[in-house]
């Protein structure tokens, strides 16, 4: 189920989800968590995703919701229908890391094409959305993203936080090219301008797929830029690694810290704790 609403809080034993309007008129963020069992007898694959309708553009909230709808339909088609239709349960159809990356890439590409056609057909101008999708496959998190909704991995054993994904803003492109520094990127005029996003005219070539090994106690943070845009990596690490043991308290602290830093955008996060692998 795709969730898009003004203020939502979900608190489960190994994950929490917060999505709120903050100081905007409406919430253009969407999120989704579900599980698929590709083949009978195989361990379910957990899918988590967030999408941020492009701020200031028409129909942003609808586009972010439709992005996740198309994404999830593509994943269901690839991971369940194609593997089971008239095939029974053959061992050679077990989904592995080797082909899971291609599954996620195809789903994001199909979502991009679908949204692009929808925007063009309705003459919605530059309406679009970011997307971040992460799948838990055994002890590995596999992720693909378009835009500036990031994935962070907190390693419990070392207390270190890593930003897993690469963002597709103009500022980040310049940063990766070595043309500006990290400090310059935070205030660069292109920090909020997306080079690639869901609904963009040209799907990016060689879109990166990220894989992260997980161990029990690790945390995964999926969020929109209403959380990450105003906080330094060190600030997020301090909150996730603090004395607060409750996932809900960590999530609330992230939201409050971003607001204290002046964030006014919609805020959505999924904070997932690895219980077992």
CB neighbourhood size of 197 (10 A): 26
Alpha helices in 93-159 (DSSP H): 97-122
**Cα separation of the two ends of the chain:** 25
Tens digits of per-residue pLDDT, 100-124?
Answer: 999 999 999 999 999 999 999 998 8
- Nearest 5°: the CA angle 201, 203, 206 is 155
DSSP category for residue 6? S
Question: What was the pLDDT predicted at 49?
Answer: 99
250, 239 Cβ separation under 8 angstroms: yes
Give percent above pLDDT 70 in the chain: 91
Q: Which residues pair with 161 in a beta bridge?
A: 154
Give the CA distances from residue 276 to residues 34, 143, 151, 253, in Å, rounded to whole numbers and listed in that order. 18, 19, 20, 25
Q: What share of the chain is helix, strand, coil (3-state, %, to 5)?
A: 35, 25, 40
For the chain, domain boundaries:
7-160+196-273
277 closest CA partner among 99, 43, 75: 43
Alpha helices in 218-265 (DSSP H): 225-228, 233-240, 247-260
Tens digits of per-residue pLDDT, 13-69?
Answer: 799 999 998 989 899 999 999 999 887 777 889 999 999 998 556 689 999 999 999
Kindly state the average pLDDT of the residues 73-89: 82
Q: What's the CATH class of domain 7-160+196-273?
A: alpha beta
Question: What was the pLDDT predicted at 1?
Answer: 46
Tens digits of per-residue pLDDT, 242-265?
Answer: 776 799 999 999 999 999 999 999
For residues 238 and 54, what is the distance between their CA atoms, to the nearest angstrom?
29
For residues 155 and 35, what is the distance between their CA atoms, to the nearest angstrom?
23
Tens digits of per-residue pLDDT, 137-184?
Answer: 999 999 999 999 999 999 999 999 999 999 888 888 788 778 888 778
- Which backbone phi and psi does 141 adopt, to 5 degrees? -100, 125
Q: Which helix (H) or strand (E) holds 160?
A: strand 160-163
For residues 226 and 269, what is the distance between their CA atoms, to the nearest angstrom?
9
246, 219 Cβ separation under 8 angstroms: no
């Amino acid at each position: 189920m795709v969730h898009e609403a003004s203020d939502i809080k979900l608190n489960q034993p190994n994950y929490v989800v917060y999505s709120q309007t903050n100081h905007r008129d409406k919430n253009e963020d969407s999120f989704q968590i579900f599980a698929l069992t590709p083949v009978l007898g195989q361990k379910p694959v957990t899918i988590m995703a967030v999408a941020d309708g492009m701020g200031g553009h028409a129909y942003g909230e609808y586009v972010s919701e439709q992005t996740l709808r198309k994404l999830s339909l593509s994943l269901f088609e690839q991971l369940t229908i194609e593997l089971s239709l008239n095939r029974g349960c053959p061992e050679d159809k077990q989904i592995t890391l080797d082909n899971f990356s291609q599954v996620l890439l195809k789903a994001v590409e199909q979502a991009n094409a679908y949204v692009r056609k929808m925007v063009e057909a309705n003459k919605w101008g530059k309406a679009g959305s970011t997307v971040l999708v992460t799948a838990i496959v055994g002890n590995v998190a596999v992720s693909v993203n378009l835009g500036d909704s990031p994935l962070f991995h907190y390693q419990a054993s070392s207390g270190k936080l890593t930003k897993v994904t690469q963002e597709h803003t103009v500022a980040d492109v310049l940063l990766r090219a070595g043309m500006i520094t990290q400090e310059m990127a935070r205030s660069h005029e292109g920090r909020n301008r997306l080079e690639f996003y869901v609904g963009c005219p040209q799907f990016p070539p060689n879109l990166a797929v990220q894989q992260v090994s997980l161990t029990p106690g690790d945390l995964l943070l999926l969020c929109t830029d209403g959380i990450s845009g105003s906080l330094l990596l060190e600030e997020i690490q301090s909150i996730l690694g603090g004395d607060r043991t409750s996932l809900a308290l960590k999530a609330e602290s992230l939201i409050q810290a971003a607001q204290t830093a002046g964030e006014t955008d919609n805020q959505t996060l999924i904070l997932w704790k690895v219980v077992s692998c």
